[in-house]
Structure 1
Amino acid sequence: MSSVINNKMTLVAALKSVQPLTYKQKINLVMQLSLPAILTQVSFIMMEYIDAAMVGSMGAAASAAIGLVLSTTWLFGGMCNAASVGFSIQTAHCIGAGENDKARQMLRQGIIVTGIFSLFLAAIGMAISSYLPDWLGSGTAIKKDAIDYFFIYACSLPIYQLKNLAAMLLQSSGNMRAPSIINTVMCLLDIVFNLLFIFPSHQIMIGNISFTMPGLDMGVAGAALGTAVAEAVAAIAMLWMVCCKSPILHFLKHDKWKLTREYVYKAIKLGFPVGLEHAVLTGAIVVTTAIVAPLGAVAIATNSFAVTAESLCYMPGYGIAIAASPLVGQSIGAKRWDLTHHFARITVGMGVVIMTIMAFIMFVIAPYIFAFLTPDLAVQEIGTKILRIEMFAEPMFALSIVIAGVLRGEGDTFVPSILNICSIWCVRIPLSLLLASSLGVMGVWIAMSIELCCRGLLLFMRLWRKEWFKREDNGRHYNAI
């Protein structure tokens, strides 16, 4: 058993092992699950960087059009994530307890429930797309592009939802590699499709070889369509992996497509706080966008590019948080409180260290990042300043991100959601309103930095109150949920 543990031991095998794991073995297990998730998140960010650079080459107005509706796309995307959370948490608990039949039921019921939910969201998104730029206070110069971009995004929500559900369930089963590979390929496809849809046909030189790259010259709308097509390819691959290839979750002939009230109710109970949190938090970001919008296209573009640049720092934290949820969830399902305790501490510590290092690197290279993202000198100058200010808050931001993943694995979603909501609405929004009038977009980012520190502190206090987090397993079974 020892040699298996040291090499490619799965999470399920670790939970079933009667032998205690050494600290090194626990770290190895965390790394096995975290690295693919981190690489996935980093690949997403590189895709966003390249997307931003492609759109940025068309000028500040094109970037501002996407930046205007970007926070609203996060709102809708977050709701899709929340719909998947309730099923992924239950799946992790079932697998940890050895109840694979129930885990397969979560997949089938998740497809039905989240599929219907995403169609509902798509209908809402398409209905409000023509009104959204006016609600956010945009000028007429970017209105049409903003409408086209958001409408296409809304149409693609069911695709995103199914891909997201399949990825979360694969991760809950301990399979982090397949979602990582598929999402990385999706990012590469997104670049190809963007080249096809955004720009007109043009010559490309690779060494001494020249060829014509076909293009549809759709501009900003092409950026949305390129991403949607890449998402569709990834969704098909992800569903095939979870429905046909997963050794735990794959479909069997006798499986029935019948909703079970108990499972659906619990999924809603677990996912609703997360959805409410996403709605309120992203709603606050929409309000922040509305605060920035009257400052002009340069301010909107600067804010949008800074958000994209900052994501390179925090996405590794989200990758670790994704891994933390099945680690903690399956450990709780198996009643292995010793593993629950250490997995929580290891993932939180790893997240803080990695994001702190990334923040230091970003502080140094911020001018070069903005030079890559946009040729606009005004955007480069202001963006570098606000990004460097926010880097000081990254360690505390790391606490909030990874701890949220740990608590989600336990099934604790309500209180953390309330803490996040209170932090952003009671700290960030009032401070943004206060500082934006005198400091412009820089004041908004100072307010954000202060709020991220408050949020990290609140989430850490929540985790510290957990009995299993404060001490080792001494034979008692703590009430985890």
Structure 2
Amino acid sequence: MITLLKRLFNVNNMLKPQQRLGEIPSTSSMYLSTYRIAWPSALEAVLISLIGSVDTIMVSSLGPGAIAAVGITNQPKYIVMSVIFSLNLGVTAIVARRKGEKDIMGANRCLKQSIMLSSMLTVAASALGYIFADPLIILAGAGRDIITDASVYFRIIMIGNVFYCIGLTITAAQRGSGNTRISMVTNLTANLVNICFDYLLIGGRFGFPALGVAGAAIATAIGNIVSLIIAVFSVTRRGGFLSLLEYGEWRFDLKTLKNLASLGSSALVEQVFMRIGFFSYAAIVAGLGTIAFATHQICMNVINVSFAFGDGLSIAASSLVGQSLGAKRPDIAILYGKVTQRIAFCVSAVLFVVFMLGRHGIVSLFTDDNQIIALGAVILIVIACTSPFQTSNVVVSGCLRGAGDAKYVALVSFISIGVIRPVVTWLLCFPLGLGLLGAWFSLMFDQVTRLTLNYLRFSRGKWTKIKI
């Protein structure tokens, strides 16, 4: 068994002889390089996920209706932010490639132009979200009992969103350069600020007013402002690879814009269809009632921990793959992809055990409602089985995006999330009568489908030949 594991994790067994273009790093150095970039991203994502869970726990003191009101805003919020997410995927890929090419001027041109684009796009998108808050919340499936709270929460979030999105663009560039610690510090600090103000504003403590759901939104907005301040500070120091004070002017460059548009447009298609699919999925689940949706929201917080580990590894994979391709070493790019996949497998195995054994205790952290705890514990069995597929898919997708193969990932997301998941969810929830359990079976089927299609693409290696 030990011999088999050694063979599985040894980088010398991950490449065919004809794929090697030169000397490859040792197994220990490959895993160490991955670890150095991955751990800040993974820790950041996991802590943010856990902090988000604490946020939900604090809101849960107001009752299941408050959990549902906050949860129902997630997909409308992400639809508004989809254009920024797509831009940032392009930013990370381009900066990583320029880092590998040692093109510091090109990387900083990308940074400055992406900040200008992000500022314009996020103001426009957030304004539309604020204006059309009520229709978006209703379209998301909100019941009459939660529409008012949900709309108030969403409008405040849209104001803070302007600061949040610009900061995200800066940290996306930092990730591409391999500086994942900045992103970790930025988001962790902002979320700790969020928790502090949650404590003060939701229930009203130390003389602060008790604002309930609105207080949770204000706390998030304050955290967003803090995140932007830290992100800007990270690129205002002279001598770094990325610096707003050096390396070029604040003006648009056609070549850089074309690269951002090429990668960003594919990512935008992916994000739009992903968000429409998630939106439809959440709306179907909301139709099951407030208790079912509150349970669903709690379980989404739990599965986000699994996603967070995968997302951290995905960021490392995207950066290392992009830098390796920029250095004209596609063989090492393939190795980094396979190394991160193996790490993801180990992480998901641990999560499987934790979710299976601790399911009742995990759900009871969020609520004392026996009905929600019983239903949530059953859903966590599905989450435990889904975790290995989800984590692996996030990592493989990150490898493809880091190489610039965003169009394929977008197509897979459109087919699986935009079409398959909503249809299967509706069939399982209503005609087959599985209720909330059917929605989570559908999610697992979606993850298996995407992993299969993305891994086939990765294994064929065409992504190593893409120019950006």
Fold match by TM threshold 0.5:
yes
Partner of 1:295: helix, strand, or coil? coil
Q: Is the 8 A contact 1:396 1:457 kept in 2?
A: no
2:265 is the alignment partner of 1:272:
yes
- Percent identical pairs in the alignment equals 25
Cα deviation per residue 1:318-355 (whole Å; 9 max; x = unaligned)?
A: 00001111101111111122321211110112112212
Name which of structure 1's ranges 420-429 and 410-419 shifts more when overlaid on structure 2. Answer: 420-429
- CA distance, structure 2, for counterparts of residue 230 and residue 252 of structure 1: 26
- Report the CA distance between 1:115 and its aligned residue: 0.8
What amino acid is the match of 1:242? V
Cα deviation per residue 1:98-142 (whole Å; 9 max; x = unaligned)?
A: 110111111111110111011111011011112223223322221
Q: Is the 8 A contact 1:93 1:333 kept in 2?
A: yes
- CA distance, structure 2, for counterparts of residue 133 and residue 200 of structure 1: 26
- Report the CA distance between 1:467 and its aligned residue: 5.1
- Report the CA distance between 1:305 and its aligned residue: 0.9
Q: Is the 8 A contact 1:337 1:468 kept in 2?
A: no
Partner of 2:112: helix, strand, or coil? helix
Cα deviation per residue 1:331-385 (whole Å; 9 max; x = unaligned)?
A: 1111122321211110112112212321221121111111111122211111111
Alpha-carbon spacing, 1:254–1:411, altered in 2? closer, same or farther (3 Å): closer
Partner of 2:208: helix, strand, or coil? strand
Q: What number of residue pairs does the alignment pair up?
A: 445
Q: Of 152, 163, 182, which aligns to 2:186?
A: 182
Alignment-derived partner of residue 234 in structure 1: 227
- Report the CA distance between 1:444 and its aligned residue: 0.9
Q: Is the 8 A contact 1:322 1:405 kept in 2?
A: yes
- CA distance, structure 2, for counterparts of residue 163 and residue 292 of structure 1: 32
Alpha-carbon spacing, 1:317–1:453, altered in 2? closer, same or farther (3 Å): same
Alpha-carbon spacing, 1:299–1:250, altered in 2? closer, same or farther (3 Å): same
- Report the CA distance between 1:55 and its aligned residue: 0.4
Alignment of 1:350-361 (within 5 A): 350-361=343-354
Alignment-derived partner of residue 363 in structure 1: 356
Partner of 1:405: helix, strand, or coil? helix
Q: Of 69, 72, 76, which aligns to 1:72?
A: 76
CA RMSD of aligned residues (A): 1.8
Alpha-carbon spacing, 1:241–1:253, altered in 2? closer, same or farther (3 Å): closer
Alignment of 1:139-218 (within 5 A): 139-201=143-205, 213-218=206-211
Partner of 1:200: helix, strand, or coil? coil
Alpha-carbon spacing, 1:21–1:383, altered in 2? closer, same or farther (3 Å): same
- Report the CA distance between 1:85 and its aligned residue: 1.8
Give the TM-score taking structure 2 as reference length: 0.91
2:236 is the alignment partner of 1:243:
yes
Partner of 1:388: helix, strand, or coil? helix
Alignment-derived partner of residue 106 in structure 2: 102
Alpha-carbon spacing, 1:315–1:455, altered in 2? closer, same or farther (3 Å): same
Alignment of 1:311-322 (within 5 A): 311-322=304-315
- CA distance, structure 2, for counterparts of residue 349 and residue 253 of structure 1: 39
Alignment-derived partner of residue 456 in structure 1: 451
Name which of structure 1's ranges 32-41 and 337-346 shifts more when overlaid on structure 2. Answer: 337-346
Cα deviation per residue 1:190-243 (whole Å; 9 max; x = unaligned)?
A: 110111221122xxxxxxxxxxx3332111111111111112111111111023
Partner of 2:364: helix, strand, or coil? helix
Name which of structure 1's ranges 300-309 and 332-341 shifts more when overlaid on structure 2. Answer: 332-341
Alignment-derived partner of residue 447 in structure 1: 442
Alignment-derived partner of residue 460 in structure 2: 465
Alignment-derived partner of residue 274 in structure 2: 281
Q: Of 123, 132, 139, which aligns to 1:135?
A: 139
Alignment-derived partner of residue 408 in structure 2: 415
Alignment-derived partner of residue 12 in structure 1: none
Runs of 4+ in 1 over 6 A off after TM superposition: none
Gap regions ≥5 residues in structure 1: 1-17, 202-212, 470-477
- CA distance, structure 1, for counterparts of residue 416 and residue 376 of structure 2: 24
Alignment-derived partner of residue 294 in structure 1: 287
